[in-house]
Amino acid sequence: MSVQSVTPVLNVSSGGVSTAWFELLGWKRGFSWNDGGMICGGADSNEHGAAGFGSVCSGKAEVCLCHGGQGSLGTILPNFPGDDATDGVWMSRWMELAADVDALHAIAVANGMTVTYPPANKPWGVREFHLRHPDGHMFRVSAGLNAE
């Protein structure tokens, strides 16, 4: 028996703010849900209120966003570049090419996002940088160095 995919669920303080953050990085809205059921078009809210659960998608990847539940928000800020002693969810985001890592880093910087570790070639054969989500979740944005 093999796993078909893994979909992380992030606890977020606002589904709309979190979705907009991902959209700046090129992700698309998936679905959104509130007490009234599915919200048309993955919108942030409808007549039944704000979305409490939803998703964002990029290629075959999907991340679910849960307002105020299913895990914890990150509250501990890094003390120095590359500080791993933070909370929230950590996950790796794999890009097709090493050059994509630098391109996404430039987009993140241009949008005032929190980069906690700049792009660097690592001895384990990847180029990566660390990007902090507004709710403290950390993304290692990586690509294999031989993926050129």
What pLDDT is stored for residue 45 in this prediction? 94
**CA 14/CA 101 separation, integer angstroms:** 27
Give the global pTM: 0.90
The answer regarding whether domain 90-144 maps to CATH 3.40.47.10 reads no
Q: Which of these, 28, 45, 27, lies nearest to 36 by C-alpha position?
A: 45
Backbone angles phi, psi at 137, to 5 degrees: -75, 145
**CA 91/CA 93 separation, integer angstroms:** 7
Tens-place pLDDT, residues 57-93: 999 999 999 998 888 888 877 777 777 777 788 889 8
Q: 6-10, 22-26, 51-55, 81-85: lowest mean pLDDT where?
A: 81-85
Q: Which of these, 30, 26, 14, 33, lies nearest to 135 by C-alpha position?
A: 14
What pLDDT is stored for residue 104 in this prediction? 97
Residues 15, 16, 21: CA angle, nearest 5 degrees: 95
The H or E element spanning position 81 is none
The H or E element spanning position 24 is helix 15-24
**pLDDT above 70: residue 21:** yes
Query: Which residue spans of the chain are classified as CATH 3.10.180.10?
Result: 90-144
Amino acid making up residue 9: V
Instruction: Calculate what percentage of the chain has a pLDDT beyond 90.
Output: 78
Give the model's confidence band at 147: pLDDT under 50 very low, under 70 low, under 90 confident, else very high.
Answer: low
**CA 47/CA 65 separation, integer angstroms:** 20
**pLDDT above 60: residue 148:** no
